[in-house]
Amino acid sequence: MRPPRRTGSAMDQAEAAFKAATSKPVEAAPKTKAIPEGKEMVTLRLDRAVLEHFQDDGPGWQDRINDALRVVAGLEDR
């Protein structure tokens, strides 16, 4: 019969170190997905007259369409 182990013995410390090294770590709660900032490429059908209106001022017409849509959507004041 084995004598009972004392708490804090070298064997207990070794077992605790082994468990810590071989146990799967507790996973953190998953992060909630935030709506990404930035722009997303989409396909959009516009009337030719609307497209020409924004393209008449040259480069940056996509940003101008985006700005106009933000105002209409109430996301930005003009």
pLDDT at residue 49, rounded to an integer: 96
pLDDT at residue 72, rounded to an integer: 93
Q: Which tokens in the block code for residue 38?
A: 């930035």
12 and 5 Cβ atoms separated by less than 8 Å: yes
Query: Which distant-in-sequence residues (6+ apart) come within 8 Å of 55 by Cβ?
Result: 61
Inform me whether the pLDDT recorded for 3 exceeds 70: no
Q: What are phi and psi of 69, to 5 degrees?
A: -65, -35
d(CA 69, CA 39): 13
Inform me whether the pLDDT recorded for 57 exceeds 90: yes
**Which 8-state DSSP code applies to residue 22?**
H
Q: 23-56 pLDDT, tens per residue?
A: 777 777 776 666 667 888 999 999 999 999 999 9
Which helix (DSSP H) or strand (DSSP E) does residue 49 occupy?
helix 48-55
pLDDT at residue 45, rounded to an integer: 96
Q: What's the whole-number mean pLDDT along residues 54-78?
A: 91
